[in-house]
Amino acid sequence: AQDRCMTDVLELGRGSGIDVDALGDAASERLEAEACSLASSIAAVTCRWLLVVGELDRRETWRSWGCRGMGHWLAWKCGMALGTARHHLDVARRLPELPRIQARFAAGTLSFSKVRALCRVATPETEAVLIELADSGTAAQLERMLTAYQKAIDKAAASDRAADRHRALRV
């Protein structure tokens, strides 16, 4: 059964105009360029898909299907794991607030991994600087930098709250 499944996958690739056999004959440089081009296209299409998902979420169309939320609708209708659906939905909800990140994602110059990391911490005021950070490294490096950045923001906010409480006691 597994062999039949693999045969079906290969046939599907051949039937869609993809010459699977030719990939083995292609120069590595050509395949690298194609991989990068396709990754850019995937990012652009993913951005558009997330904007559609965000609009469906705002309209609460999932209710008409009896779903508990948009994440459940995505898991059901788009065949993704619920955790993955939630990650995508988090980004879909933030994209309209972050026009620079959205534009770079739509152009295919920021990957979903980087956009997801940026959407966790970016504000309209900080997105330009954070995009520069995203451009300077890998998605994993960006995740580490933004985690440290968020911890610093949280620590500063906690310090400000403590100072406010201290001032209130002196009054």
What tens digit of pLDDT does each residue of 138-160 get? 999 999 999 999 999 888 877 76
Residue with tokens 């850019």: 40
Report which of 118, 147, 119 is spatially closest to residue 134, judged by C-alpha positions: 118
Q: Specify the pLDDT at position 166.
A: 64
Question: Over the Cα atoms of the chain, what is R_g?
Answer: 22
Q: Specify the pLDDT at position 17.
A: 67
Whole-angstrom CA distances from 85 to 13, 19, 94, 117 are: 26, 32, 14, 15
Q: Specify the pLDDT at position 167.
A: 65
> How many residues are recorded in the chain?
171
Give the pTM: 0.80
Phi first, then psi, for residue 24 (nearest 5°) are -65, -25
| Residues of the chain below pLDDT 50 | 2, 6, 9-10, 12
Spatial distance between the Cα atoms of 92 and 97, rounded to a whole number of angstroms? 10
Q: How many helices (H) and strands (E) does the chain have?
A: 9, 0
Percent of the chain with pLDDT over 70: 83
Spatial distance between the Cα atoms of 107 and 41, rounded to a whole number of angstroms? 8
Q: Specify the pLDDT at position 6.
A: 47
